[in-house]
Chains A and B, each alone.
Chain A
Amino acid sequence: MSTQDAYPIDVEAIRADFPVLDRNVGGDVTTPGEGEDDTEPLVYLDNAATSQTPKAVVDSIVDYYYSYNANVHRGIHQLSQEASVAYEEAHDTVADFIGADGREEIIFTKNTTEAMNLVAYAWGLAELGEGDSVVTTQMEHHASLVTWQQICKRTGAELRFIEIDDEGRLDMEHAAELIDDSTEMVSLVHISNALGTINPVEKITEMAHEVDAYSFVDGAQSVPTRPVDVGEIDADFLAFSSHKMLGPTGIGVLYGKEHLLESMQPYLYGGDMIRKVTYEDSTWEDLPWKFEAGTPSIAQAIALDAAIEYLEDIGMANVQAHEELLAEYAYDQLNRYDDVTIYGPPGDDRGGLVGFNVDGVHAHDLSSILNDFAVAIRAGDHCTQPLHDTLGAAASARASFYVYNTREEIDALVEAVDDARQLFA
């Protein structure tokens, strides 16, 4: 094997764990699954939207439903106890994975968006008011941007946006200007889902703490792709989604420092989050259950546990190294074309995704042509409409990579992009 062929991880063995990577595409889309008219091998480069699922994760779901499906925290019977233990231990696994102090700091939500909304409603509505400010960035996902925008409208707080420079990095001088004594919260994305920028979340958190503000880190793109330690960042809140890290949809995570979560009122009321209820009043269960009202996503929590186990077997530092290798390779290959504009920082300093446009080709046309080549990418505004206004592009194409992707798949992407260039030339 030459150095060119070497990967930091055993990609071939990993690929064998993902049945979907064997499927062909190209045919009728109205019937799900592979059909006779699907003839081209899938090249899946849309991992920043959602990742694929290894057998071990699907097996954990099957195992739960086939052998210990029961509601949690309710029954004295054995199945309920088994399900409760597995569900609760999933919190411990997540806590270990991101360096939290314990399950009290890990709240399961539906996704990153709900985790954002939980803090915005439970903390923001109670604490924000006229004269306060929330500082965020120009590159936020709508999950963060729209949430803070609307909470600020309701509370009278001011929402401020840290600007980005020509390479898609945060203007730190502007950040220093915006984060002042009025600031109560600094909410920023760790890795931009549109630009691939890796933001200095530790530094920004430090700046927030200097003015007694809290920091909320959107880890949707970072937690799946690199080691993230909440202790090192010292973030007050961190959110991420299972389905971008080999787990199922329907479950996300809110990390919060225990004393903050203790001080916050519940966001959703109902079963499972209460300790004592009378007709007149109620008291709340301990953390994290206080914030997990109703029957939770039990199978999904157990499957997230399995996904984390799978990622830890690979090693998150290795996952990061593979991401960086593919991002740089894709950046360099696409950057050879003068009529291809790549957004964000250079190839050697970005998360595992490349957002780009081809002159004269709308991103959706590009995506359709790539689809004809069996290459799955995302095209659109990537839930970052204001950022696209700043970039001066209605939409962009985005290829995003994960542990099972190869240089050959990026070659297929580049070949298809070249075909589109020529078609529209």
Chain B
Amino acid sequence: MGTGSDMYRQQILDHYKSPRNYGELEDPDFSHTGENPSCGDTIQMDVKLDEDNEEIEYVSFTGDGCAISQASASMLSERLVGMTLAELEDLETDDITDMLGVTISPMRIPCAVLGNQVAKDGAKIYQGELDPEDYGETITEE
């Protein structure tokens, strides 16, 4: 039978079971939520910027859902610290799958990118580039 589960290497299971930076920030510069309806995954990302409002200083997240979505948000919460908002905007799907270090099947890409999309949309709303009326919540779909 199968050789085990390639998509669930130790790192992903570790982040899923022991999520990093889990919780809400007290006074985030921006906070945004999102959902992946296919798995029912939800993620909230809270971001605190440095005094110049350019570089990400703290990130925390809360959420519920599949291992891929939650582990990806957990890993991202570490990865984003020290990045500028411009660098966040440049994070693509490939960067996320590279970060996860496994091959994500096409059906599971919306799970993998949920945290990233939530952070990016939150940053754009914060910068006035997206209307929060239209982007009350980020949705990732296939």
A residues touching B (Cβ–Cβ < 8 Å)?
26, 29-30, 40, 361-362, 364-365, 368-369, 371-374, 380-381, 394-395, 412, 415-416, 419-420, 423-424
Please report the C-alpha to C-alpha distance between residue A374 and residue B5 in the assembled complex, in whole angstroms: 11
Asked if B66 and A40 make an inter-chain contact with CB atoms under 8 angstroms apart, the answer reads no
Asked if B13 and A372 make an inter-chain contact with CB atoms under 8 angstroms apart, the answer reads no
- Other-chain contact of A423, B3, B5, B106 (Cβ < 8 Å): B5
A-B CB contacts (within 8 Å), total count: 66
- Other-chain contact of B1, A40, A364, A394 (Cβ < 8 Å): A40
**Which 5 pairs across A and B sit closest by C-beta, in order of nearness?**
A394-B40, A362-B66, A373-B2, A372-B2, A369-B5
Which residue on chain B has the smallest CB distance to residue A370?
A: B2
Asked if A362 and B65 make an inter-chain contact with CB atoms under 8 angstroms apart, the answer reads yes
- The total of chain B residues at the interface (CB under 8 A) is 23
Please report the C-alpha to C-alpha distance between residue A381 and residue B40 in the assembled complex, in whole angstroms: 9
| A57 CB, min distance to chain B CBs, angstroms | 28
Asked if B2 and A394 make an inter-chain contact with CB atoms under 8 angstroms apart, the answer reads no
Which residues from B are CB-within-8-Å of A26?
A: 2
Which residues from A are CB-within-8-Å of B64?
A: 394
Given A29-B105, A364-B39, A424-B13: A374 in contact with B2 (beta carbons within 8 A):
yes
Extra inter-chain contacts (13) besides given A29-B106, A369-B7, CB under 8 Å = A361-B67, A362-B65, A364-B38, A364-B66, A364-B108, A365-B66, A365-B67, A368-B7, A372-B7, A373-B2, A394-B65, A395-B39, A424-B13
Please report the C-alpha to C-alpha distance between residue A369 and residue B6 in the assembled complex, in whole angstroms: 8
B4 is an interface residue with CB less than 8 A from chain A: yes
B111 is an interface residue with CB less than 8 A from chain A: yes
Given A364-B108, A365-B68, A380-B38: A423 in contact with B2 (beta carbons within 8 A):
no
Please report the C-alpha to C-alpha distance between residue A373 and residue B1 in the assembled complex, in whole angstroms: 6
Please report the C-alpha to C-alpha distance between residue A371 and residue B2 in the assembled complex, in whole angstroms: 9
Which residues from A are CB-within-8-Å of B126?
A: none
Asked if B1 and A416 make an inter-chain contact with CB atoms under 8 angstroms apart, the answer reads yes
Which residues from A are CB-within-8-Å of B40?
A: 381, 394-395
Please report the C-alpha to C-alpha distance between residue A235 and residue B4 in the assembled complex, in whole angstroms: 48
| A20 CB, min distance to chain B CBs, angstroms | 19
